[in-house]
Amino acid sequence: MLPATTTRVERNTDSQINARIRRRTEASVAYFASHPEEIDRRLDELDHEWDIERTLEANVATIGFAGVALGAFVNRGWLLLPAMATAFLFQHALQGWCPPVPVLRRLGVRTAGEIAAERYALKALRGDFESALVPSGDGQGRARAALQSVYA
């Protein structure tokens, strides 16, 4: 059975690295709890942070382009490079692991879920979700309020 999409990278990352990434996120949220005037800036930074998927995709595309160009103009043996890179990307898609993942995780590259956790904690600190806490009302109205808070 394949691992869940939302946890596959963390499950294939050393627990000490996961803990370090989690501590960094917790420290960031704690800092902004004391400096709420800076939350908007941090949210903008988070919107531009590359997650591990985007980083891997960019690396595989670069290796693929380089391998095809070298295969076409230098030596056909270079075509093994994009073949290996795409095989690794496929392995990552299925398992959440491929050879670059441990290196990228050690460098602190986070998953989309890890970035989102910080984003939503900061939005909660800013008060974005207060309208979602509708104690009564119909299900549609409550759902709409909850989604509006998330999309804010």
Write down the domain spans for the chain: 14-119
Q: What is the pTM of this model?
A: 0.88
- In Å, how far are 31, 47, 119, 123 from 44, measured between CA atoms? 16, 5, 10, 12
3-class DSSP state for residue 91?
helix
What is the model's pLDDT at position 152? 64
**Are the C-beta atoms of residues 85 and 63 closer than 8 Å to each other?**
yes
In angstroms, the CA 112 to CA 138 distance is 32
pLDDT per position in the chain (152 positions), as tens? 889 999 999 999 999 999 999 999 999 999 999 999 999 999 999 999 999 999 999 999 999 999 999 999 999 999 999 999 999 999 999 999 999 999 999 999 999 999 999 999 999 999 888 766 655 667 777 777 767 766 76
**Cβ neighbours, 10 Å, residue 146:** 15
**Cβ neighbours, 10 Å, residue 64:** 17
